[in-house]
Structure 1
C-alpha cells in the first residue's frame, strides 16, 4: 500500500475493514496462482504429445483435470475476492462519509467559510471515490500482477534456466525505464491533487455565484476562475506528460507481449535447432514468458492509483483531524441578551493577531456598526459572535455566559446571522426557510416570507413553497438574500450579525432587501459590518477598527466632529460618489409596513 508517512493515513482509514481486505488479498493471490496452472498443464500436455512415445489417455487426463480444476478455483477465488473487497469498501465508504458528516458538523463555521466548500466536496466525494478505486480494484490488481509472474518464472526455471533468465530482461528494462519516468512523481502528484482541488473549489464557486454575476450582466466573469483553474491544470498536466513521455512509452513497449515473444522466440528457435532444448520445452516460454513481464505493463496506472489513494487518505485524515469547536463540560445558559467582549484577541495561525485587545458592549435592542479599511478585522470580529471561530484570548459573553460554555443549539437560538454569501440547500423553498425551526408551520413560513418581501417570487415558482432549489430553479442573488432573511425571521434570534446584505444588489433588490432587513431588525440587537458609511448614520454606536484594534467609537455626529479616522473615511466615500439614503435596518427608521410585518410575526409565534 505504500511506505513512509503517506501509508499511515491509509492504514488508519482502512482499519475497520482490514481483516476483510486481508482475506480478499489472500483469495486473489490464490486465484492468480491458480490462473497460471492451466498454462503449465497445457505445456506439459504438449510435451507429452510431442515426446515421440504414444500418449496414453490415462497420462493426459490428470493434466486436463488439473487445468480445469485450477481454472474453476481461479474463477471462484477471484469472484469471491472482488465481492469481499467491494463489500468491505462499501462499508468503509459509508462509515467514512458518516464520520466526515459528523466531524464537519462540529468544525468551526469560519474554517468552512474561509476555505470554501470545495475542500469538503473533494473529501466527501472525490477522495472517498479515490479510496474506493484503491481498496476495491487496485489492491487486488496489484496482488494479481505480482503473484502470477512469480509462479510462472519459477516453473520456467525448471524447464530451461537460460531462457528463463532471458525472460526477465524485459521486466528489468521496464523497471529501469519506468523509474526514470517516475522521477519526482511524489512532488508532481502533490501538485496534481492541489490542481484538482482548485478546480473543485472553482466549480463550486462558479455554480453558486453565477446567478449573482448574471444579474449584473457579467455572466462571463462568473466562469473566469473556473477557466483559469482548468487551464492551469491542463498546462501542468501536459508539461508533466511531455517530460515523461519518452521514458514511459519505452517502458510500456519493452514489456508488450509481442516484444517479449520476439525476444524469446529467436533464441528459442536457435536452442531447438542446436538440440539444446526440444520444441515442446519452448512452448511454456511462449505461453508464460509474456506473463513474467506483465506487471510492468500495468504498473504505471496502478502506481498512479496508489498515489492518488494515498493523497486522498492524507486529505481525508487531515479534515478528520481538524480541531472542532470545544463542547462545554459544564453548559451554561444566557440570562438576557447583553453581549460583552473583554480583552478579545484572535489569530488564525496562532502567531499573528488579527484582533487585539477588543473591549465592546452590545446592549439589547441597539445597533452597533463595525467600520474600517479593508483588512482591519471587521468580518473577523463579527464572526466571533456566532462562534465561527473561538477567541485566542479574552472572553465573549452573552447574557453573562461565555460563548464557549453555551451549547451550540442554545447559542444559535439566540444569535443569528445574515451574510452576503448566501448558502441555500438543495431542498424545497419551505425547508430552506424553516432551517432554523424545522417544526415551524406553513403559516409561519409564509408570514416570514411576506415580511422578507420574497413571498410573491416564491408563489411564482413552479410549485410554490414546495419548489426544490438547486435543480432547474435558481434564485438571483437578491432573491436568495431575501430568502435568507425570511429564514432568520423565522429563527427569531434576538441577536443578529449582519454583513451588509445589499452590497452587491441591484437597485430594485436593494430596496426590497432593506425593507426585509428593517422587519428583521425590529426589537433585536444588531452587530452590522458596514461597507458604505451612509447606511449606518443612525446607528447607536459606530466602532472604527484599524489593524485589529478599536481606534474610535461613538455616534455618527460625534465621530465627524472628532475629525479622526471615521471622518476621513466619510469624506473619502462622499468624494468617491453621491451620497446614498439611509439604508440601515433600524427599528426607529423601519417602514411602517415592515414594522407591522414584524409585529405580525411575533404575534403569530406567540399564538
Structure 2
C-alpha cells in the first residue's frame, strides 16, 4: 500500500498533470565498485547537470591550484632555513619574499576556492532536490511501497545534505591530502634525491594501509545506511499510527517495539562502524608516522656521514613533515568519503529507476470515450489483477464498476490515468492509446476523486487552486460553492486562508472530500474517475458530497467505483468485476433479473440498508 508521499505524488498527478524539468542527462551507467575520492567525484559528476559540472570543475581547478601553491610554499621553506641556519643568513631575504608571495597567493586561491565551494554546494542541493522530485513524479505508482517513505525522506535530507558538503568541505582536504604530498616529493628531488627517494618508497605502504583501513569499515557503513533508512521508516510509521495506538492501548507495545528495534539496530550499526574503524585509523596513523621516522633516520644517517649538511637536513625534515601531514588529514576523511559515495549511489539508483515512457510524437484524442482492449495487468509481486478485460465507456455516459475487494476496480481507474502501464492489451482515451499521449495532455483530460483524499499542507484556497493554478479568484470561489466548501470556509477561523494541516489532518473526512471535489470541478476535465467514499460519512456531509458529485459528473464521461445503490441504478452501464474478469455487464434492469454476482450484490446491499441496532432487554 502506498505511503503518504506516494499519495502526495498520486494527488499531484490527479489534479495538475506533471511538468518535467530536466537538469542534465541521466547517467544509466552504475558506478563501478571501488573506493576513494576519484569514484566519489565521478559519481558526483554523473548525477548533476552541465551547469553544476562547470561549477564543480572550477572548484576542483582552484583546489588543485591551491594544493600546488601550498606545496610550493612548503618547499620554499627549505632554502629559507638553509640560509638562516647557514653562514650567510642575509641571503635568506629573497627566499623569504618568495615564500611570502607564495603564501599570499595560496591564501587568495584558498579564499576563492572556499567561496566557490559553498556556491557549488548550494547549487548541488537545489539541483538534486529538483532532479529527485522531478524524477519521482515520473515513476509508476507501483514503485511506491511501504519502505519508500523513509527512503525518500533520508535521500532528500541526510543524503543530499551530505552531498552538498562535498565542494566546500571535502574537496580541499581530499585534494591537498593527495596532491600536496606528491608535489612535495617531486620538489624534494631538487634538493636531495636520496631523501626524496626514501619518501617515494614509503608511499606504496601508506596506500596499502589506507586501502586496508577503508575496506574494514565498508560493510559497517553500508549496514549503518540501511538501518538509518529503516529507522526513518519506523519513526514515520509511529507518528502516522498514533490514532490507532491511542485507541487500542494494547498495540502500543507492538508499535513501540518496532521503533525501539529499529533505533537499537541503528545504534549498533554506528557502534560497528567505530569498532571497525579504530584499528584502521590507528594502523594508518602509525604507518604515516613510521614513514616520517624512516625519512628522519635516513636523513640523520646521511648527515652523520657528512654527505648532507645539518641545516639542509633540518629544512628537509620540515618538508617531510609537510609530506605526511596532509595524508594524515585526508585519512580522517575515509568515513565521510564512503558515506558520501554511498549517498551518491542511492541518488543514482533512484535516478536509474525507469519512468513511464513518454511518446516521441504524442497523439491527440478524438473525444472523451474510454476503451479497455483485452487488458492484462500484474503487480510486481506477480499477482495477476486483470486478465483480458475489455469494455467501452461512451462519451458523456456513466459506467458503474462493482465487485469484491481486490477484484481490480481501483486498478482499472488508475490504468486509465496511466499510473501504471498495462502488460497486455491497450487502454484508449478518445481512440488513442494512453501510452501514445503525453502525461500532461492525458491528465488535463481526467479528474480523479479517490476514497483516500490527500490535501497539500496549505490553505483551503491553495488546495482548490491546485486543480487549475491559473484560475481566477471568481472561478475558485464558484467551484468551492458548487462543492459546498464555502460552508467550511465560513465556519473555520481564517476562512479561505485556514490551514488544512499536513495531508488535510485539520479537517474531517467529508470536508476533505468536498475540497477534493472542488479541486476536480475547477479542473473541469471531460473525464471523471470516481471512487465513492460517502458510506462512512455522516448524513450532513454525505448530502453535501453527493450534491458536489452531481455538479462534478454533469455532462462528463464518468467511471464510478460504486457502493451506493442509487448510484449503481442510475448508471448507463454496469460492469461486474470478479477474479480479474468482467463477469457481467448491462443496465440495472437487465442484470437484476439474471442469476449472478450483480443480483447477489443488489440483494446484499438492500438487506444492509435495513439494518438497525436494537436495545436488548436486561433480565431482572
TM-score normalised over the length of structure 1: 0.74
Q: CA distance change for structure 1 residues 516 and 136 in 2, over 3 Å: closer, same or farther? A: same
Report how far residue 65 of structure 1 moved: 0.9
Q: CA distance change for structure 1 residues 425 and 116 in 2, over 3 Å: closer, same or farther? A: farther
The within-5 A match list for 1:121-160 is 128-154=160-186, 158-159=191-192
Report how far residue 145 of structure 1 moved: 0.9
1:589 — aligned with what? none
The answer to whether structure 1 residue 26 and structure 2 residue 54 are counterparts is: no
Report how far residue 66 of structure 1 moved: 1.8
The answer to whether structure 1 residue 37 and structure 2 residue 72 are counterparts is: yes
Of 556, 579, 582, which residue of structure 1 is paired with 2:608?
Answer: 579
Q: CA distance change for structure 1 residues 190 and 424 in 2, over 3 Å: closer, same or farther? A: farther
The answer to whether structure 1 residue 386 and structure 2 residue 417 are counterparts is: yes
1:151-180 deviation digits (Å, cap 9, x = unpaired):
333455655846974797598357426525
Find the aligned partners of 1:477 and 1:295 in 2 and give their Cα distance: 61
Of 496, 499, 511, which residue of structure 1 is paired with 2:528?
Answer: 496
Find the aligned partners of 1:458 and 1:224 in 2 and give their Cα distance: 38
Report how far residue 515 of structure 1 moved: 5.9
The within-5 A match list for 1:401-420 is 401-405=432-436, 408-409=439-440, 411-420=442-451
1:82 — aligned with what? 114
Q: CA distance change for structure 1 residues 30 and 422 in 2, over 3 Å: closer, same or farther? A: same
The answer to whether structure 1 residue 437 and structure 2 residue 471 are counterparts is: no
Q: CA distance change for structure 1 residues 397 and 269 in 2, over 3 Å: closer, same or farther? A: closer
2:11 — aligned with what? none
Q: CA distance change for structure 1 residues 536 and 387 in 2, over 3 Å: closer, same or farther? A: same
Q: CA distance change for structure 1 residues 25 and 163 in 2, over 3 Å: closer, same or farther? A: closer
Of 259, 266, 280, which residue of structure 2 is paired with 1:234?
Answer: 266
Indicate conservation of the 8 Å contact 1:343/1:395, yes or no: yes
Report how far residue 147 of structure 1 moved: 0.9
Of 47, 68, 71, which residue of structure 1 is paired with 2:100?
Answer: 68
1:464 — aligned with what? 495
Indicate conservation of the 8 Å contact 2:176/2:326, yes or no: no
The answer to whether structure 1 residue 298 and structure 2 residue 332 are counterparts is: yes
Find the aligned partners of 1:546 and 1:236 in 2 and give their Cα distance: 49
Find the aligned partners of 1:468 and 1:305 in 2 and give their Cα distance: 39
2:16 — aligned with what? none
TM-score normalised over the length of structure 2: 0.72
Report how far residue 446 of structure 1 moved: 3.6
Larger RCO (alpha carbons 8 Å, 6+ apart): 2
Report how far residue 101 of structure 1 moved: 5.5
Q: CA distance change for structure 1 residues 60 and 243 in 2, over 3 Å: closer, same or farther? A: closer
Report how far residue 60 of structure 1 moved: 0.9
2:22 — aligned with what? none
Any idea what SS the aligned residue of 2:332 has?
helix
Any idea what SS the aligned residue of 2:165 has?
helix
Find the aligned partners of 1:43 and 1:365 in 2 and give their Cα distance: 90
Find the aligned partners of 1:580 and 1:43 in 2 and give their Cα distance: 97
Indicate conservation of the 8 Å contact 1:371/1:378, yes or no: yes
The within-5 A match list for 1:447-596 is 447-470=478-501, 474-476=505-507, 478=509, 479-501=511-533, 513=545, 516-517=548-549, 520-521=552-553, 524-529=556-561, 538=569, 540=571, 543-553=575-585, 579=608
Tell me the matched-pair count: 567
Any idea what SS the aligned residue of 1:423 has?
coil
More divergent stretch after superposition (68-77 vs 264-273):
264-273
Find the aligned partners of 1:233 and 1:573 in 2 and give their Cα distance: 49
Find the aligned partners of 2:208 and 2:580 in 1 and give their Cα distance: 57
1:334-384 deviation digits (Å, cap 9, x = unpaired):
1xx44332212234569875422101233544341232243x333222201
More divergent stretch after superposition (279-288 vs 30-39):
279-288
1:4 — aligned with what? 32
Structure 1 spans left out of the alignment, 5+ residues: 583-607
Indicate conservation of the 8 Å contact 2:358/2:439, yes or no: no
